[in-house]
Amino acid sequence: MSSLLQGKVALVTGGSSGIGTAIVRILAREGAHVAFTYRRNKQGADDLLAELESTGSKARAYHADMADFARSQEVVDDVCKAFGTLDILVNNAGQNQDSVIWKMTEAAWDEVIATDLKGVFNYVRAAVPVLREKKSGRIITVSSINGLRGRFGQSNYAAAKAGVIGLSKTLAKELGRASVTVNVVCPGLIATKMVEEMPDDFKQKALEEIVLGRIGSPEDVGELIAFLASEKARHITGEVIKVDGGQYI
């Protein structure tokens, strides 16, 4: 086990699959105690929890809807009670319900905004008092390159992902004096179940945008987040870092 994050306590939202699972595994590998939330994938959460415990890592899983403000406070409170503190918050949970704007329903708009934008506010609002009191901490939010450039058929998703960038830059200004850094990671096309289920022509078109010529892995995102969560990144805040193989260029 590495010592990059030895003894730190991290909370990762949406940790039971895809990029979230990679983040949880890597933070635990680097020595952190890791709690994570999940909404639908209980089996994935149980499997990940068992995997972490089998390696000697301290871990906890919480069933939670990102849009539930009260539940976010409950989760943060329990993490602090179980582990004694909280050092790292990774806002990873998200969803998409794609549609062109003239066909998008109010429900599809509201649900994506509630999870991908309000959900980040919920967990930040719950965690910040702890981090300010400690006068240290890391907040890292997973956005998307589509929050920077927009994408046809993703007005709700792109709006939410752009919103967390503005939120994070503001938080970096507000929390700097408390030595809490706030950064954003923007993945491009990453090999997750959602990407596997994409139509082949859509996937090929996205792949052609990537100058490195390959789809990224969840671990590519997780390794950057582990670095940003560490003391090695102590002088980095307010940044938006793409993990996209040059897809945005």
In the sheet that 180-187 helps form, which strands lie side by side, from edge to edge?
Answer: 59-63, 33-38, 9-12, 88-91, 137-142, 180-187, 240-243
The single residue of 62, 123, 157, 248 carrying the catalytic annotation is 157
| Cα 177 to Cα 64, 127, 154, distances in angstroms | 31, 16, 36
Q: How many CB atoms lie within 10 A of CB 147?
A: 23
Is 248 catalytic? The answer is no
| Cα 98 to Cα 107, 108, 112, 193, distances in angstroms | 12, 8, 10, 16
Q: 3-class DSSP state for residue 35?
A: strand
**Which parts of 170-220 are beta strand (E)?**
180-187
Confirm if 67 and 40 have CB atoms less than 8 A apart: no
Cα–Cα distance, 155 to 173 (Å, whole number): 28
**Amino acid letter, 120:** V
Catalytic residues: 157
